[in-house]
Amino acid sequence: MAMLLQLTTFLTQYLYGSNNAVPKQPDALRIGILSTAAINSAAIIHPAKSHGGVIVSAVASRNLEQAQKFAKQYDIPKAYGSYDELLNEPGIDAVYISVPNGMHGRWARKALNAGKHVLLEKPFTANADEARSLVQLAVEKKLILVEAFHWQFHPAAHALKALLDSGKYGPILRTYARMTTPKGSIPRSDIRWQFALAGGSLMDMTYVISSTRYFLGAGTPREVAAAKARPTAEDPRVDEAMEATLRYDMDGRMVESKIYSDMWRPNAFGLIPRIWETPSIEIETEYAIIYFYNFMMPHLYHYITIYDKRTKTTTTEKHYSGGPQWGNRGESWWSTYRYQLEAFVDMVRGREPAHWVTLDSSIAQMETVDMVYEKSGLGKRLPTPE
């Protein structure tokens, strides 16, 4: 289902981005893209069309012809046949990095050393050691570095977080986050299955940890009580699926959080792809059971149901704009990526963003990923060798 959501986002962002294009400001932030990955169009190219303060001015690939083809397709002024060439371009203010997982740390490091601000695709790095090193460099360089957990920038996420933080339904008791893709949706030739590129379901679907931590307001868990991987037949080091139980110490209370990621989800009854399984999280509190359907791409469709244990009633909420953090800013057609871009530009320009994924949070995220992999017996992921 995650793949279908991405394809739908590509289409909607193309339509909305083209129909809502705006003139560019003279001092617009000039962004370069490292890689010609499919995610680029939804994540940065189309959102930038409706932001007057952003120009996507260059793209780089390790193959010049491929970069030129991509640049022509999306009307990007410059194309480079190597990532280093783009980073050496003085007219580039920031870069969006969407290279394979195992290369995130290396190219983010090179970008920072080249004086560029960085919007870095998830997962932040291959592991926590690399994350800590990268964060230290960003702080030393006084440059903006942020992990692109786009879903966290959406009003729906903020509305639910505010509800939980209000205490209206009491403290959180447990959580369960799930993200799956039907069997066969991601070809086995895809980079996400390659150990050398830090592949695996938990790395690609790290949203299950991100959502758990965000709604709990937590860093790393006290412990990973259990973790079970379903390795691929082709490479037992790579997880086809991962399930784990995390335990968080929340002000003296123990909260148990279960997560499940599956990039090869078996069909129902062996026949029907589980396309209804969007990335979702269930949160039980003292007085309610809350379910956020499609937290990863709520701009397409989502709902938040709240079952009140006291009244035995269920209410449903939807939030596409405004909310406790954006207020009057934003439009109902903005995608999670468009909200994220708004915050990124604000941060680079020295303005207070409506929401932000902190560097400490990204370190805690990778520490948690490492803990799960270690507990599962697969071992933490490693950066791709140069």
- Domain extents in the chain: 2-151, 157-327+359-376
Q: How far is CA 162 from the centre of its chain?
A: 20
Q: Position of tokens 């006290």?
A: 222
Q: Is 51 exposed, middle or buried (0-12, 13-18, 19+ CB in 10 A)?
A: buried
pLDDT of residue 386: 85
pLDDT digits 0-9 by tens, 330-381: 999 999 999 999 999 999 999 999 999 999 999 999 999 999 999 999 999 9
User: Residues of the chain whose pLDDT is less than 70?
Assistant: 1-18
CATH topology of domain 2-151: Rossmann fold (3.40.50)
Class of domain 157-327+359-376: alpha beta
- Find, among 134, 103, 41, the residue nearest to 365 by Cα: 134
Sorted by sequence, the CB contacts under 8 Å of residue 218 that are 6+ apart come out as 212, 248, 250, 364
Helix ranges restricted to H, the chain: 2-19, 40, 46-49, 64-73, 83-87, 104-113, 128-141, 155-166, 201-204, 207-216, 323-326, 336-348, 359-376
Look at the block and give the residue holding tokens 């309610």: 288
Distance CA 164, CA 156 (A): 13
| Catalytic residue set | 122
Instruction: Evaluate if pTM is beyond 0.85.
Output: yes
Non-local CB neighbours of 17 within 8 Å, separated by 6+ positions = 45, 46, 47, 48, 49, 50
User: How far is Cα 68 from Cα 78, in angstroms, rounded to an integer?
Assistant: 8
Closest CA to 134 of 339, 305, 325, 362: 362
> Is 157-327+359-376 the same fold as 2-151?
no
Asked whether the beta carbons of 68 and 76 are under 8 A apart, the reply is no
How many C-beta atoms lie closer than 10 Å to residue 115's C-beta? 12
